[in-house]
Structure 1
Amino acid sequence: MLDSLDAGAVRRWCAGTLSALRRSQREIDALNVFPVADSDTGTNLVLTLQAAVDALPDTGGPREVWAAMARGALLGARGNSGMILSQLLAGAAAALPSDRPVGGRALATALTAAVDAGYSAVAQPVEGTVLSVAGAAARAATEVDTDALPTVSAAALEAARRALESTPAQLAAMGLPGVVDAGGRGLVVMLDVLDTVVRGAVVDLAAPEPEPVPAAGVQEGWEIQYLLASREPDVPGLAKRLSEIGDSVVVAYVEPSLWSVHVHADDIGAALEAGLELGRPHQVAVTPLIARVRTASASGRAIVAVVPGAGLAAVFAAAGAVPVEGAPRSDELLSAIERMGADEVVLLPNSDAHVPVAEEAAAAAGATVSVLHTRSVVQGIAALAVADRARSFRDDVVAMAEAAAATRWAEVVIADEAGLTMAGPCRVGDVLGLVDGDVAAIGVAVPDVVTNVLDRLLNAGGELVTVVLGAAAGPSLEAFVQAHLHTHWPFCEVHVIDGGQPRAVVVIGVE
């Protein structure tokens, strides 16, 4: 583990972040709903980090390397998300010490400065976005109050993950689909790589090349970016002027006499004239804002799934579904359905509790909506795995329903109240193992109950085991489950997912 960040660590972090964002590019693109559902946040973050990597110097200390990375990101920033991310990097770089090692407290100070810079650059900050996630990370890093770098990086990462899980509700309050914020997800990727570097673990540099973003969809204005050369710009006045003609306004400081400007607007000329009043706009980039129907295929079909955690949201999004996190109301599900613009929709409630609101939303929708009564996320995963838009809608629904029904499931939870169950009395804090929704085992240790329900499911047969780890799953639980299955059920294929669900410590599916 590192006691402090040196220049080499900053370089590894930057390169590792680019690779990790490339691996997550399609997932983050699929999550993109704010400020425009144009499915390009992952792509823009990749291109912004590529510019940062290209600017990395071979010499210098950690502050100099971080500052060069931030400058490269600012000059090459793409999109609203890239602009904000580059400003976060720049704010942090300016706060790093040059006369002492970058330990835990220095990193916490830098993260706090990053948040201040991010909020100051955005004309109209919105909660439930990357700024909220960055703020949570900075607060946690400060509150641990230690110079131990691994403790600070771990605290920042964990707080960012929790904040990301809160973004669906914040975005839903603005009438947007209940998915985690795409920019916030990108920041969590960055902090995850930083924590990996600090822990001294190997950084995975394998990644595919960036993929182009498809252009199909409905245009909703223009994204306008330029660098503004100006000796004494009226930044508040420029931000106000741009806010009058558009939104998503970011005015970011790059270096003396140079600013980076971003706005979404219908009038390209007005956006450029606002800059001309203060200096010389150059490196102008104008891109059409295309609001895309992200999961509807050419046949006009979409899949909407209710999921309980950020990790599961990413899994469903990557597989082509639109995830709606938490316990949505029927109007929230209806909004997600309508935003797809699809003629045919399969709705996966993934819990008995969500079936009534799913059916209510389906009844109110203008599209043809089929609600599959998936009782668990693992049944939803099984249904999604066999979805095939080449089939007729009826045949596809039947195949998905059969796959879900063939998946036996269990979950392990912690009892929050005493009661009498089918397996006997339980007390608060007991570990409960539920099989197909009924309590089948009660214990005091999570691993013991997990193996109990695993064996119950596999004794009835099965070749494929899906294990979804919740937010409360300990770091050793995955290895324990893998070892148990390898020893007692060696012929099973095992898939482990970091689901992040808040209630169930583990969800298990057997097919």
Structure 2
Amino acid sequence: MGDAHHQRTDGTADGLLLRRWARRSVDCLEERRGEINSLNVFPIPDSDTGTNLLFTMRAALDSAEALGGDVTSATRTANALARGAVAGARGNSGVILSQVIRGIAETVRGERINGLDLAEALQTGTELASRAVTDLVEGTIVTVLRASGEAAAQCVGVDLQSVALAAADAAASALVKTPQQLDVLASAGVVDAGGLGLLVILDALVESVSGHSPDRVELGAGRSRGLIAEVSRRDHDWDRKSGPLECGDDSAQDFEVMYLVDESDEDLMAALRTRLAVLGDSIVIVSDGFGGWSVHVHCCDAGAAVEAGLEAGRVHGIRISSFLVDQRDQLVARQEMQFQGHDARGVLAVVAGDGAAALFESEGASVLRCDEAPVTRAQLLGHIRTMDRTEVLVLPNGALSAQELVAVSAAARDPLHQVLLLSTSSMVQGLAALAVHDGSRNVADDGFTMSESAAATRWGSLRIAVERSLTFVGTCDPGDAIGLMGHEVVVIGPDVEASAARLIDLALGSGGELVTLLMGADAADGLAERMEAHVISTYPGVDVLIYQGGQPGDLFQLGVE
């Protein structure tokens, strides 16, 4: 924070702050590169979006740090960042990022940058990126960029810090919606990788001008895959397809080709775009604003794509990558993960309630919450993949039907990953299973032992009826206490405590050594203590464990072992 004084109290910033932003962006992209790569399913599932954004931003930073003379000028620094970003852009997302930075360069006209400049820069960057992409698709980095620019434009007369925060907040909101706009994202259970990378960069700007990083609880590292609309898992398995990718299948292309072009003009580049459209797709052609151009295309004939560029001007900086090779390298990396021992296995639990979530997390499980809405198959599948473990044991805890679990299991399984969905019908059964989890055992043995422990736990719940209905033990009216063993109603009564005690008696009728009570959010004060006293006085030798789960609906969940 040594150059923090380069943001003045008038809400503007100079070139040194722009350089600090670029440096912080590089650091943040390095930290989250793996996460961003793991989300990469569009337009090609080559798991390199985070890497491409990092290389592009690093090239921009290197160019700015090579400046001599007056480095406090916002104009000179922005121009250097733009030249470096376009020249060093990697991949589709990197080329688009270069246009965001170029938008800043074209907007800043003096020694300092203010909130109005930033708003105009984001809108200019959106226009440049939209023109650069031949086939613009919603639900991508450009969509997220547009939302940030529109939000920034609403901040009339506001300082740089406020505009930066408004832009970043709008980008976060747009990112969460990307699976609703692009089917391949919904199918894979992810948000757009490039959009997340852009958000990381915008948050780095907020931190650079304010000294504080935005708290993205809903978009924390490792959680981006769960943020999807309520969609069904389709047959795509984009990042785990077996066999080679060839022209004509889902990938459509074999190579990613990038190069730089000098000594050209708008007409020649327009002609190049037309030629490349015949050869392939994902075409992005951008200018650095200083006579240089960056060209990107996915195609089957890399040589023809380069030859087309030779007719447009002086070509240099040629980079060609093969999706076949990239896929092979990803498979090798996943195979290596299988030999990481204990750390290769994880447990995922579906839970409701703050207390229950904390309880499962304290035992080492990852948590997928289901408090406000039912968990979908796509959400569960996305969360499993986010864990980046070769072995995952899932405790569904009654949140999904058996049919849905079978579908998730089939979609999650491949030769490099073992995903076992255990038969836990409630959170108390999940806790019983987690209590005997041992990561040093073979995964099949560990799953079998955990399933045995869950099956040996009789479980029930107590709740309040919200409507009149007919059950096997009689009719309940709104406000009655209803006790269930498993999914069957066994107790109905107007008195909550009497019904709770009756439910415990039925649960202990066939024996038991331990009673676990997971108390819900609506349980009355003292109910747990009175039920504990009932067990101790009525069943000598039976132990009682009480946890505050905070789950909605049930006054408590009951487990007997």
TM-score, normalising length: structure 2: 0.59
Q: Return the alpha-carbon distance in structure 2 between the equivalents of residues 270 and 282 of structure 1.
A: 15
Deviation at 1:46, TM superposition (A): 1.6
Provide the residue aligned with 1:45 in structure 2: 53
Contact 1:330 1:357 in 2 (8 A): no
Contact 2:102 2:289 in 1 (8 A): no
Provide the residue aligned with 2:263 in structure 1: 230
Q: Return the alpha-carbon distance in structure 2 between the equivalents of residues 198 and 48 of structure 1.
A: 22
Q: Return the alpha-carbon distance in structure 2 between the equivalents of residues 421 and 157 of structure 1.
A: 49
Deviation at 1:358, TM superposition (A): 3.4
1:186-227 CA distances to partner (integer Å, 9 max, x unpaired)?
Answer: 111111110011114599xxxxxxxxxxxx996641111111
Counterpart AA for 1:54: D
Counterpart AA for 2:258: Q
Task: Give me the identity figure in percent.
Answer: 34
Q: Return the alpha-carbon distance in structure 2 between the equivalents of residues 262 and 247 of structure 1.
A: 9
Provide the residue aligned with 1:361 in structure 2: 407
Provide the residue aligned with 2:165 in structure 1: 154
Structure 2, unaligned runs of 5 or more: 1-6, 215-240, 246-253, 352-356, 458-477, 482-516, 526-543, 553-561
Is 1:265 aligned to residue 299 of structure 2? yes
Counterpart AA for 1:17: S
Counterpart AA for 2:94: G
Change over 3 Å in CA distance of 1:235–1:92 after alignment to 2:
same
Structure 2 residue corresponding to 1:22, chosen from 24, 30, 38:
30
Give SS of 1:5's match: coil
Pick which of 172-181 and 351-360 moved more.
351-360
Deviation at 1:256, TM superposition (A): 4.2
Provide the residue aligned with 2:19 in structure 1: 11
Counterpart AA for 1:358: E
Contact 1:28 1:42 in 2 (8 A): yes
Change over 3 Å in CA distance of 1:303–1:117 after alignment to 2:
farther
Contact 2:179 2:185 in 1 (8 A): no
Provide the residue aligned with 1:431 in structure 2: none
Change over 3 Å in CA distance of 1:363–1:253 after alignment to 2:
closer
Deviation at 1:29, TM superposition (A): 1.6
Give SS of 2:294's match: strand
Provide the residue aligned with 1:86 in structure 2: 98
Q: Return the alpha-carbon distance in structure 2 between the equivalents of residues 404 and 52 of structure 1.
A: 55
Provide the residue aligned with 1:166 in structure 2: 177
Q: Return the alpha-carbon distance in structure 2 between the equivalents of residues 329 and 461 of structure 1.
A: 30
Counterpart AA for 2:262: A
Give SS of 1:286's match: strand
Q: Return the alpha-carbon distance in structure 1 between the equivalents of residues 375 and 209 of structure 2.
A: 38
Structure 1 residue corresponding to 2:209, chosen from 173, 198, 205:
198
Q: Return the alpha-carbon distance in structure 1 between the equivalents of residues 58 and 199 of structure 2.
A: 18
Alignment of 1:253-402 (within 5 A): 253-289=287-323, 290-291=326-327, 292=330, 297-298=337-338, 330=377, 346=392, 348=394, 352-355=398-401, 358-362=404-408, 370-372=420-422, 373=424, 392-398=442-448
1:291-347 CA distances to partner (integer Å, 9 max, x unpaired)?
Answer: 345867558x99897999xxx9xxx9xx9x9x9999776589789999x9x9x9757
Give SS of 1:287's match: strand
Contact 1:115 1:138 in 2 (8 A): yes
Provide the residue aligned with 1:185 in structure 2: 196
Contact 1:165 1:180 in 2 (8 A): yes
1:22-44 CA distances to partner (integer Å, 9 max, x unpaired)?
Answer: 11111112221122211122222
Counterpart AA for 2:278: E
Give SS of 1:439's match: coil
Counterpart AA for 2:521: V
Structure 1 residue corresponding to 2:110, chosen from 98, 106, 126:
98
- Greater relative contact order (CA < 8 Å, ≥ 6 in sequence): 1
Is 1:242 aligned to residue 276 of structure 2? yes
Provide the residue aligned with 1:439 in structure 2: 521
Counterpart AA for 1:394: A
Deviation at 1:356, TM superposition (A): 5.2
Q: Return the alpha-carbon distance in structure 1 between the equivalents of residues 408 and 127 of structure 2.
A: 43
1:75-103 CA distances to partner (integer Å, 9 max, x unpaired)?
Answer: 1111222111112211232122327x422
Provide the residue aligned with 1:251 in structure 2: 285
Contact 1:305 1:347 in 2 (8 A): yes
Deviation at 1:17, TM superposition (A): 0.7
Change over 3 Å in CA distance of 1:65–1:363 after alignment to 2:
closer
Deviation at 1:12, TM superposition (A): 0.7
Give SS of 1:440's match: coil
Q: Return the alpha-carbon distance in structure 2 between the equivalents of residues 162 and 421 of structure 1.
A: 42
Give SS of 1:139's match: helix
Change over 3 Å in CA distance of 1:78–1:353 after alignment to 2:
same
Change over 3 Å in CA distance of 1:371–1:151 after alignment to 2:
same
1:468-490 CA distances to partner (integer Å, 9 max, x unpaired)?
Answer: xxxxxxxxxxxxxxxxxxxxxxx
Provide the residue aligned with 2:118 in structure 1: 107
Structure 1, unaligned runs of 5 or more: 204-215, 407-418, 423-434, 444-458, 467-502, 504-511
Alignment of 1:126-165 (within 5 A): 126-165=137-176
Change over 3 Å in CA distance of 1:119–1:398 after alignment to 2:
farther
Q: Return the alpha-carbon distance in structure 1 between the equivalents of residues 159 and 376 of structure 2.
A: 43
RMSD (Å) for aligned C-alpha atoms? 4.8
Contact 1:362 1:370 in 2 (8 A): no
Q: Return the alpha-carbon distance in structure 2 between the equivalents of residues 4 and 349 of structure 1.
A: 51
Q: Return the alpha-carbon distance in structure 2 between the equivalents of residues 436 and 172 of structure 1.
A: 39
Contact 1:91 1:118 in 2 (8 A): no
Counterpart AA for 1:194: L
Contact 1:349 1:355 in 2 (8 A): no
Contact 2:203 2:213 in 1 (8 A): no
Q: Return the alpha-carbon distance in structure 2 between the equivalents of residues 363 and 202 of structure 1.
A: 38
Deviation at 1:261, TM superposition (A): 0.5
Provide the residue aligned with 1:34 in structure 2: 42
Deviation at 1:371, TM superposition (A): 2.2
Q: Return the alpha-carbon distance in structure 2 between the equivalents of residues 387 and 132 of structure 1.
A: 45
Deviation at 1:357, TM superposition (A): 6.2
1:87-130 CA distances to partner (integer Å, 9 max, x unpaired)?
Answer: 2211232122327x422122111111111111111111221111
Q: Return the alpha-carbon distance in structure 2 between the equivalents of residues 195 and 402 of structure 1.
A: 51
Contact 1:91 1:113 in 2 (8 A): yes
Deviation at 1:9, TM superposition (A): 0.8
Give SS of 1:234's match: helix
Give SS of 1:282's match: strand
